[in-house]
Amino acid sequence: MAEGYGKILTALLAVLFGVFSLVMFVPSAELIVGFLSLTFGVLGIIWALRAKLSLSKGTMLREYATYFFFALVFIVLYSFWDTLAMLLGWQGALLYPKYFLITISYLIFVFAAYKMLHLGKQFGFKPQVEKMNFKKRKLKK
C-alpha cells in the first residue's frame, strides 16, 4: 500500500516540477497551456491505447475504447497544430486544418454517443427504473 502512495507522490512531484519548468522557461501563458494540453493529451492516448488492448477483441467496450482513442488522437493533433500556430505565428489558411481536426473528433464522439444510445435502448434498464419509481411513489402514500 505504501508503494502505491510513493508512486503517486513521485508522479505528483514530477508533474509539479514540469509545470514549474514550463512557467520558468516558456514566455507565453498560451504556450504553457498548449504544452500542458499536449502532454496530458499524449498521456491520455497512451492510457486509452493500453485500455483498448487490454479488452477482449470483438466486445462493445473495446469498440467504444477505440472511438475514444481516435477522438483523443484528433484532439491532440488539434492541440499540436494550434500550438505550432502560436509558436510560428501562423495566420489565414494555415489555421483551417485545426478546425478540420476538431470537427473530426466531434464527429467521432457523436457517432460513439449514438452507438451508446442504441446500446442503452437495446440493453437499458428503463423499464426497471420506471417500476422502481412507481414503487417508491406508492410507498410514500
pLDDT digits (tens, 9 = 90+) for 8-32: 888 888 888 888 887 888 778 888 8
DSSP label at 50? H
Residue 89 — left, alpha, or beta (φ > 0 → left; ψ -120 to 50 → alpha)?
A: left
pLDDT digits (tens, 9 = 90+) for 77-114: 999 999 999 889 999 999 999 999 999 999 999 999 99
The runs of H, that is alpha helices, within 2-125 are 2-25, 29-54, 60-88, 96-123
Cβ proximity of 104 and 74 under 8 Å: yes
Task: Work out the average pLDDT over 27-46.
Answer: 89
Cβ proximity of 78 and 101 under 8 Å: yes
Query: Is the pLDDT at 7 greater than 90, yes or no?
Result: no
DSSP label at 55? S
Rg (C-alpha) for the chain, rounded Å, is: 22
Query: Is the pLDDT at 66 greater than 90, yes or no?
Result: yes
